[in-house]
Amino acid sequence: MSKIYAGARLRRLREERGMNQAELARVLAISPSYLNQMEHDSRPLTVPVLLRLTEAFGVDPGFFSERDASRLVADLREALAAELADARISASDLTELASRMPAVAQVLLDLGRRNQLLAERLTDATDGRGTDGRAADREAPRSPHEEIRDFFYRRQNYLHDTDLAAERLAEEIGIRPGEVVRVLTARLADVHNVRLTVESSDHLHRYDGPSRTLYLSNRLRPGQRAFRMATQLALLEYADELDRQAAEDFPADSPAHTLARIGIANYFAAALILPYTAFHAAAEEVRYDIERLTDRYGLGFETVCHRLSTLQRPGLRGVPFSFVRVDRAGNMSKRQSATGFHFSRAGGTCPLWNVYEAFAAPGRIHVQVAEMPDGQRFLWTARAVTRHRGGWGEPGKTFAIGLGCEIRHAHRLVYSDGLDLTSPSAATPIGMGCRVCERLDCPQRAAPPLGHALRIDQNAGTFVPYPVLDPRP
């Protein structure tokens, strides 16, 4: 076992329980001086002490393990970009802050984002967009959709209680590949007296409460039909639980609470038609071959990718994935992450990312080893999917679906076969978006990064830093 230095977390746990060092030392059967050294990271936590802590406080041993702080570090670098450009703070300093004192790092992150918001409001007022002075005085609220993304982001895209409840129901009613629609139809009818009607309509689905009828469009494929039926079943059968989980973060009468209920219901639906234990075993068996999983379960590429990004059950974890859905214009309509990959909030993503290459060859999976500016590398798979409404002249929808994992997990994926995962030259340098990317020499740079003064090279047509003037006489 590697040495664990978790002094800040140990001290915080002790203070939360209202104990002083002498009291906790008695519980752990160690001396107060030894505990003091552990709290100041002079000594690591030993296995016996760790076991006593988990028994005494009922916490998971992972509470004291070294946490992956890369997501918090990336958020800090983005929110404090202008301040960090003038300060002598290295990436290692931010990493240590996020690892040792995550609560302090979160406060700085909140202050940095508030500062950005104030700067934007000041700019609006200066440009005359804050008409009559009142628009600039109002704090622009975050959109409910952004709040829901953060809701799942904070939980690393895994809802433990919801997943367990869905798996229990799947076992109770006998969910099996190829029989999902039949089983869900019977459950809706027998338990909730809900009748299923397939109709020709522009509405993909709608539920009529008074008549207890669920209308589904005949344009839905069987997998899509099953997912919408499972979502409606969650709303009917687990309404109180959905309310409870949504209320953890949002007031009951807020738009974000309503969206959170729907998001949790969608999560339940995926966990119901793809029960965790069986799906995890299937994914490991085929080495996360997405197309083989879609064939086995009769579901769409996006649905399978999204479910793969949720396999984070303690004791039975899958590969931690980041999941993204983008359109040709670079708009992200879905983004969730169980890894350290950071999606920029400042707008725009990297054109060197292979999710955009997927549009050039729809239907084919594109594989890329990508390296972030901080040296972290990821294996990304991406494929374009198209949805047609069915009628002549009706526009369809085309998205690129991306699924990525840290390079240390890449060997578990079939997509890593034949790739040199150790060679730095095999990785494509990408960033989080031009406004927060530090790669000043990138040929695809479209805007200068926050906190950097750049000029345009008239000959090369690229951004280059202004020369640094020596202040000495």
Query: Which 3-state string (H, E, C) describes 191-218?
Result: HHCCEEEEECCCCCEEEECCCCEEEEEC
Among 64, 79, 109, where does a domain finish?
64
CB contact at 8 A, 304 and 286: no
Per-residue pLDDT, 468: 40
Residue 327 placed within a domain: yes
Per-residue pLDDT, 431: 81
Over residues 70-98, the mean pLDDT reads 70
Q: Which residues of 333-362 are buried (b: 16+ CB within 10 A; e: fewer)?
A: ebbbbbbbbbbbbbebbbbbbbbbbbbeee
Among 205, 240, 273, where does a domain finish?
273
Please name the residues in contact with 466: beta carbons below 8 A apart, sequence gap of 6 or more.
453, 454, 455
Q: State the CATH number of the domain containing residue 378.
A: 3.30.450
d(CA 384, CA 358): 5
d(CA 340, CA 84): 21
Q: What angle do CA 410, 411, 414 make, to 5 degrees?
A: 90
Per-residue pLDDT, 452: 54
pLDDT tens, residue by residue, 347-398: 557 888 999 999 998 889 999 999 988 788 999 999 999 876 666 777 778 9
Per-residue pLDDT, 281: 96
Residue 449 placed within a domain: no
- The count of domains in the chain is 4
d(CA 445, CA 462): 7
Per-residue pLDDT, 419: 92
Residues 136 and 179 in one domain: no
CB contact at 8 A, 404 and 381: yes
pLDDT tens, residue by residue, 4-54: 777 777 887 788 778 888 888 888 889 989 888 888 878 888 888 888 887
Residues 84 and 112 in one domain: yes
pLDDT tens, residue by residue, 93-107: 777 777 777 778 878
Q: Which has more confidence, 353 or 131?
A: 353
CB contact at 8 A, 167 and 275: yes
d(CA 63, CA 50): 10
Among 213, 244, 273, where does a domain finish?
273
Residues 326 and 427 in one domain: yes
Q: Identify the domain containing residue 196 by its residue range.
A: 160-273
Per-residue pLDDT, 272: 96
pLDDT band (50, 70, 90) for residue 288 = very high
pLDDT band (50, 70, 90) for residue 131 = very low
d(CA 105, CA 108): 5
Per-residue pLDDT, 446: 76
Query: Quick one: which of 426, 290, 304 has its CA closest to 364?
Result: 290
Residue 303 placed within a domain: no
Q: Which has more confidence, 340 or 195?
A: 195
